[in-house]
Structure 1
Amino acid sequence: MSNVQKPNSPENTSPLHPPSRVVPSEIGSSRSPIEGKKPKFPNPPETEIPDVATLRDQWRFAIRQYSRWYSQAWGTAIFAGLSFFALGWFIKGSNPLPSKQDDDPKPPSSDRDR
């Protein structure tokens, strides 16, 4: 009987040294289908500096977009705040803001305080 075993046989592996799955000849191979090809972007970068009118139009468009998003964000925040206030009012049955409530009613005035 010979004691020669295969290096990656299941009986020769241990939890500390799992079998290697990568063959050294595959490490440097270029089997990727996208290697060597340039990626195609939907909006490729410009090759030259655009004219002033184009930059002005792009800047105006960006300002309009930012203004629209800014106003929508504020509108959403205000709507959410009012909705949570109304929900708190509905759940509690009264004003949910503790600073607007009279928890300590004034004692009745007596003749001695005058």
Structure 2
Amino acid sequence: MAEENHPKPQQNLETTKPKQQEPTKARFESYKNGSYSGQKAHFPNPAESVNPDPATLRDQWRFAIRQYSKWYSHAWGTAILAGGAFFALGWFIKGGNPLPSKKDDSQHNNNPHPDVGK
């Protein structure tokens, strides 16, 4: 009963971990030379061994064009909406038109030529 209340001393963590092999100089040299003969990479969707028939390629091409067109139009729509939102935010913060090229004529000086009259 006394043993249940006392925690057991922890084991040395180094002895419980699996030992990893240290890379050797020869292994690094084989990487440099490009002659490493390790495992071949396995891809989840390997390439087809033959080209598909023209009808399939045509359908795939049409699908890709539709997808691209959809993404392109969505991107432009998002950009236009964001521009309008930022313009409205600027108008709200400034209390008027935020574009400096659209100032009222009443704010300009009445003297059209600043050098005349000196």
TM value normalised by structure 2: 0.58
CA distance in 2, matches of 1:43, 1:80: 39
More helix by share: 2
Task: Note the aligned Cα RMSD (angstroms).
Answer: 2.5
SS of the counterpart of 2:55? helix
Partner of 2:8: none
TM normalised by structure 1 equals 0.60
Aligned residues: 80
CA–CA separation in structure 2 for the residues paired with 1:68 and 1:42: 28
> Which residue in the other structure is 2:108 paired with?
104
Q: SS state of the match for residue 28, structure 1?
A: helix
Q: Is 2:43 the counterpart of 1:45?
A: no
Shift of 1:52: 0.6
Mind listing any 5+ residue stretches in structure 1 that lack a counterpart? 1-22, 108-114
Deviation at 1:37, TM superposition (A): 2.4
Question: Which digits, 9 at most, give the CA deviation of each residue in 1:30-58, with x for residues without a partner?
Answer: 8xxxx632222232111111101110111
Map residues 1-114 of structure 1 onto 2, 5 A cutoff: 26-29=24-27, 36-102=38-104, 103-104=107-108
Q: Give the deviation of 1:106 after TM superposition.
A: 5.8
